[in-house]
Amino acid sequence: MAVFDQATAVGRDRLSFAEEHDIDEFVDTLGKFERGEISAEDWRKFRLVRGTYGQRQPEAVHMMRVKIPQGILTSAQLRALAGVATSYSRGFGHITTRQNVQFHFVPLADVEPAMRTLADTGLTTREACGNSVRNITACPYAGVAEDEIFDVTPYAEAMTRYFLRHPLSASLPRKFKIAFEGCPEDHAVAAIHDIGWRARIVDGRRGFRVTVGGGTAILVNSGTLLYDFLPADEMLNVAEAIVRVFHRLGDRTHMQRNRMKFLIRSIGWDQWRARFDEALAGFRAEGGATLPFATDAAPVEQAPGWAKPAPPTPQMAAALAQTDVRGPGIVPGSVRLQTLPDAYVCWTQHNVRRQRQAGYVSVTARLPLGDFTAGQAMVLADLAEAYGDGTVRLTIEQNVVFRWVAAKAVQGLYDRLDAAGLAAGGAGTIADVTSCPGAETCRLAVTQSRGLGRVLTEYLSAHPELVFAVPSGDIKISGCPNGCGQHHIAAIGFQGSVRKVAGKAVPQYFVLVGGGITDSGAHFGTVVSKIPVNRLTDALDRLVGLYRDQRQGGESLGAFFRRVPPAVATDALQDLAVVRAEGLTAGDYVDLGETRTFAPEVMDGECAS
């Protein structure tokens, strides 16, 4: 399947990741399940590897996850996503913290046509879920960052294609995550991945600093150094050997506690390294694997040299962005953002960054809660063609980045983003709150994390002085300990929980501070309090106040909370953590984003199936 029609394409082409056989096999296996020829468990394992995940809703609806390798989307693919959102989901999609796109409330009967719509533009759901090598992520600024060591995009794509449909890829003991970063700052958070690749050049040779066994959830761990420098032409051999060891030795019985980090801990680093060395030697003896390009002649992204279409007028962008979005759940447009008098100036401060190529900038369209409507996806596609290179890149902060925007064209792009409801400022600040889907759809979630995400986003929008007080910091939310919202590595993180008060359930969050990614790896937040959900704006006020009053020099929010004793934050929040039945109102027993009394129900999840 072609990515798009080469004769009419505007922008960069990319070979397809889709295969029609995958969809035919999905249809055939679904038929076997419906006829009772295979068990429900066999069907579940199969559909997960095809990106179809169960929701907590009792009706036959599913979450459909689309792999977006390295977060790169062409304009044609954006339009295909818009079509799926309109025809098969709620009129909108959701960007994840792993550069995927998810659609919720998709009826099982609609999964096949949705897959075919996506495959026509080269997108696949293959190995987006399940015990597989998941979407391989990369720095969204790769190829254009002013300070990058080299562009990791072609290396990450080569590894994506190597493991997609690999004989071992879909039959691992647990999910397996890989990330690539080429900048000094770890935008891809490679440190918390099963394999993290950080670009290095030694003696004129390209290569990587390689770490293994990173992760969050119930065992937080910064990846352990495997190679300080590995020549790039060895990367596929090393990755194959690591996956072989995990496939052979991983504990397939205790699925909740088996990721690469658990394997390394259980057998010890020396034993794991010995098994890896054996696997690497064995694979090399079989002939090994080579990159599809010479490392000294890796593809280089050039400035757009093709004729671009005229951009839509702001009025056209506004009209195109209008989409009928449907519940249940929090929908795009329901997050109320304040408009500042100097909105454009503030937007350029945080949403625009210079490229290393003179005359060009990268522009971030910030998406509250990571949501985009079908109409907005169409606008993003048009603007990518008219102002960029015909592609966008998704970020782990759940935003969209345009690259190769002429510096002189930024005002015009902003005007059209603004008309389409896509001009929220504050990208990369504490205003840019990250949240997992939470109990709105996830079977494992305790709380409605998107509800808290909306409240904090609106609160920070209404109190810009809090955002201005924190030059560098982030806020991330997860509805359970698994950490899909990456709260463990946030300067301020919130993890959903429940407290029983006089026999009733009160939604609350663990408050973590001090997380972040630095040159030394991942730092994980420390729990400093447990606070009912309706008091968390007060908690945020106090934490920012501590930072504002006691920070040293240009210290970041995360660095501040790593420096001061955790008791400082705990003491500041002490009264907010005290809960007595006589002091609660009826609203305290209702989770944010809900109308019913809080009744948490954690179901059997499919993350470890």
CB-based contacts of 238, cutoff 8 Å, min separation 6: 210, 226, 227, 230, 280
> 608 pLDDT exceeds 80?
no
Burial 152-168 (b: 16+ CB within 10 A, else e): bbbbbbbbbebbbeeeb
Residues 397 and 432 sit within 8 Å (Cβ to Cβ): yes
User: pLDDT digits over 20-37, tens only?
Assistant: 999 999 999 999 999 999
Closest CA to 559 of 547, 568, 570: 547
DSSP-derived secondary structure letter, 136: P
Mean pLDDT over 347-371 rounds to: 98
Residue 254 pLDDT: 82
Exposed/middle/buried for residue 446 (C-beta within 10 Å: 0-12, 13-18, 19+): buried
CB-based contacts of 296, cutoff 8 Å, min separation 6: 206
Q: Please state, in angstroms and rounded to a whole number, the distance separating the CA atoms of residues 451 and 448.
A: 5
Amino acid at 493: G
Per-residue pLDDT band for 9 (boundaries 50, 70, 90) equals: low
> 419 pLDDT exceeds 70?
yes
User: pLDDT digits over 57-68, tens only?
Assistant: 877 899 999 999
Q: Please state, in angstroms and rounded to a whole number, the distance separating the CA atoms of residues 495 and 508.
A: 8
Per-residue pLDDT band for 258 (boundaries 50, 70, 90) equals: confident
Mean pLDDT over 434-458 rounds to: 96
Task: Name the pTM for this structure.
Answer: 0.96
E strand or H helix at 374: helix 374-387
What region, left, alpha or beta, does residue 217 occupy, with left being phi > 0 and alpha being psi -120 to 50 degrees? left
> 603 pLDDT exceeds 80?
no
| Helices and strands counted in the chain (H then E) | 18, 22
Percentage of residues of the chain with pLDDT beyond 70? 98
Residue 128 pLDDT: 97
> 4 pLDDT exceeds 80?
no
Closest CA to 481 of 533, 508, 445: 445
E strand or H helix at 462: helix 449-462
> 2 pLDDT exceeds 80?
no
Structural domains of the chain, ranges and CATH numbers in brackets: 145-297 (3.30.413.10), 434-589 (3.30.413.10)
Structure tokens at 420: 């389409």
At 551, give phi and psi (nearest 5°).
-70, 160
Computed over every residue of the chain, the mean pLDDT equals: 95
DSSP-derived 3-state class of residue 251: coil
Residue 556 pLDDT: 98
User: pLDDT digits over 276-303, tens only?
Assistant: 999 999 999 999 999 999 988 899 999 9
User: pLDDT digits over 77-133, tens only?
Assistant: 999 999 999 999 999 999 999 999 999 999 999 999 999 999 999 999 999 999 999
Exposed/middle/buried for residue 473 (C-beta within 10 Å: 0-12, 13-18, 19+): buried
At 510, give phi and psi (nearest 5°).
-70, 135
Amino acid at 520: S
Q: Please state, in angstroms and rounded to a whole number, the distance separating the CA atoms of residues 146 and 410.
A: 18
Residues 32 and 20 sit within 8 Å (Cβ to Cβ): no
Exposed/middle/buried for residue 478 (C-beta within 10 Å: 0-12, 13-18, 19+): buried
- Report whether the peptide linkage leading into residue 328 is cis, meaning its omega lies within 30 degrees of zero: yes
Residues 202 and 229 sit within 8 Å (Cβ to Cβ): yes
Residue 296 pLDDT: 84
What region, left, alpha or beta, does residue 359 occupy, with left being phi > 0 and alpha being psi -120 to 50 degrees? left
Q: Please state, in angstroms and rounded to a whole number, the distance separating the CA atoms of residues 187 and 15.
A: 25
Residues 216 and 222 sit within 8 Å (Cβ to Cβ): no
User: pLDDT digits over 155-167, tens only?
Assistant: 999 999 999 999 9
> 8 pLDDT exceeds 50?
no
